[in-house]
Amino acid sequence: MQVSDKARAEVKWWRDSTRGLSPATPILRCEPNLVIFSDASLQAWGAACGGEKTGGAWTAIEKKSHINELELLAAFLAIQTFSKGKRDIHVRIFVDNTTTMACVNKMGSSRSSSLDLLAKDIWGWCNNRNLWLSAARIAGKDNVVADRESRTVNNDTEWMLNTNLLCSALKIL
């Protein structure tokens, strides 16, 4: 039997990701310690957690991505924002996109290589902090705060310096 390079990489990822776990370490967690809601539109992403909210506009390159990729990226940004500094907890992310929910819960995607890579990035980030992640579905009509944030773009906070001008200015200094 021949094993593909991708299959070898998957087995290696599982081996590396579970190293150090004792047989008594539960894979499934009970109630989450942190609950996050996320959403994406074609213009921006938004998230909410415990009365706080955040979001931002997509870059020109990100705007060209499929909505499923944007939804999964929004979930990742929300997790990074609200889980920063946290360790050893169970984080539940509520999303209104079933593809995102499946990619998180299955730790990847067999249908899309870009979603698979992003899901692995999410789990790698969580593993480095010993965060257990689970995703659950919320109806779009009930995901009010995250949805509003994903449709609100504050242009005063979405800017960057022109790289050429910055380099020229720094050379003068």
Contact 100, 47 (CB under 8 A): no
Q: Is the pLDDT of residue 16 over 60?
A: yes
Q: Counting Cβ atoms within 10 Å, is residue 101 exposed (0-12), middle (13-18) or buried (19+)?
A: buried
Q: Is the pLDDT of residue 158 over 80?
A: no
DSSP E strands, the chain:
34-40, 44-49, 52-57, 90-95, 132-137
C-alpha 48/C-alpha 58 separation (Å) is: 17
For residue 62, what pLDDT is reported?
Answer: 97
Confidence of residue 147 (pLDDT cuts 50, 70, 90): confident
Confidence of residue 8 (pLDDT cuts 50, 70, 90): confident
Top mean pLDDT of 8-12, 27-31, 121-125, 137-141 is at 121-125
Q: Which of 139, 58, 154, 46 is nearest to 101 (CA)?
A: 139
For residue 128, what pLDDT is reported?
Answer: 95
- For 67-117, the pLDDT digits (tens) are 999 999 999 999 999 999 999 999 999 999 999 999 999 999 999 999 999
Confidence of residue 136 (pLDDT cuts 50, 70, 90): very high
For residue 10, what pLDDT is reported?
Answer: 80
Report the chain's mean pLDDT, rounded to a whole number.
88
C-alpha 69/C-alpha 145 separation (Å) is: 20
For residue 92, what pLDDT is reported?
Answer: 98
**Domains in the chain, please, with CATH?**
31-172 (3.30.420.10)
- For the segment 147-170, the average pLDDT, to the nearest whole number, is 74
For residue 124, what pLDDT is reported?
Answer: 96
Q: Which of 76, 69, 55, 143 is nearest to 99 (CA)?
A: 69
Q: Is the pLDDT of residue 156 over 60?
A: no
Contacts of 31 (CB under 8 A, 6+ apart): 90
Contact 91, 131 (CB under 8 A): yes
C-alpha dihedral (49, 53, 57, 61), degrees to nearest 10: -10
Among 20-24, 41-45, 97-101, 108-112, the least confident range: 20-24
